[in-house]
Amino acid sequence: MIKAVINNNVIIKLYQQGLGINELSKKFKCHTRRIKKILDDNNIPRHYGGSFAVWTESRKEKVSKKLKGRKKSSEFCENNSRIHKGKKLSEKTKEKIRLSRIGKFCKEENPNWRGGVTTENELIRKSNKYKEWRLSVFERDNYTCQFCGEVGGELHADHIKPFSTHKNLRFNINNGRILCASCHRDTPTYGAKAIQKQGVMV
Ligand SMILES: [Zn+2]
């Protein structure tokens, strides 16, 4: 069999531009061994492998495209977690990770994102005015459940007239009462019951 005339320099050039050994062997219709030999004979560093690895931009892009969205096998995950268990990351690595994450997992990428809307309820419940109301009710009721008399434990400041339907009474101390968690759950306006009824928090 007559070997096809292959221009070594062309192969080397294409290889250095990011073409792989397999691609080159297909392109020039020869065995991969021949391509490897040409590269090795000319001391061309391989794209992959140890300290000789050369990652050209096009190669990086190709590999990242190929790996994107690929699911890792459970075996891989287990091994990986075993290998890395207990290892401390260097400050340099931490900084690298931090930089690579900037701008990622924002908005819709984050599973906890709800469209940039903090509900009115949430805003109010985080407000100082609400905190003051709550504290006043606790102090007036002496940290005691107004139904069963339980002191301490898990106590809630409950709105007698629902928070959602009686906006004007939200911060009225007379509309508040301290209930233990279990008595609170039994009220007709508690949590899910109220949400089912009115579609809002109480
Ligand atoms: Zn109670």
Residues 6 or more apart in contact with residue 150 via CB below 8 angstroms: 144, 180, 183
| In a domain? residue 55 | yes
Query: How far is the centre of ligand 1, averaged over its atoms, from the C-alpha of 190 (Å)?
Result: 13
| In a domain? residue 114 | no
- Number of structural domains, the chain? 2
Query: How far is the centre of ligand 1, averaged over its atoms, from the C-alpha of 154 (Å)?
Result: 9
| In a domain? residue 38 | yes
| In a domain? residue 69 | no
Residue that finishes a domain, picked among 62, 79, 101: 62
CATH number of the domain enclosing 192:
3.40.1800
The pLDDT assigned to 172 comes to 96
Report the run of H or E that residue 27 belongs to, with start and end: helix 21-27
d(CA 166, CA 69): 49
Which residue ranges of the chain lie beneath pLDDT 70?
Answer: 1-4, 48-54, 116-117, 191-202
pLDDT tens-digit series, residues 85-136: 877 888 888 888 888 888 777 777 777 777 766 777 788 888 999 999 999 9
Query: How far is the centre of ligand 1, averaged over its atoms, from the C-alpha of 186 (Å)?
Result: 9
Q: Which of 27, 26, 43 is nearest to 16 (CA)?
A: 43
| In a domain? residue 172 | yes
The pLDDT assigned to 144 comes to 95
Domain limits for position 55: 8-62
Q: Quick count: other Cβ atoms within 10 Å of Cβ 129?
A: 10
d(CA 151, CA 141): 10
The pLDDT assigned to 50 comes to 46
Query: How far is the centre of ligand 1, averaged over its atoms, from the C-alpha of 179 (Å)?
Result: 5
| In a domain? residue 97 | no
| In a domain? residue 48 | yes
Residues 6 or more apart in contact with residue 62 via CB below 8 angstroms: 18
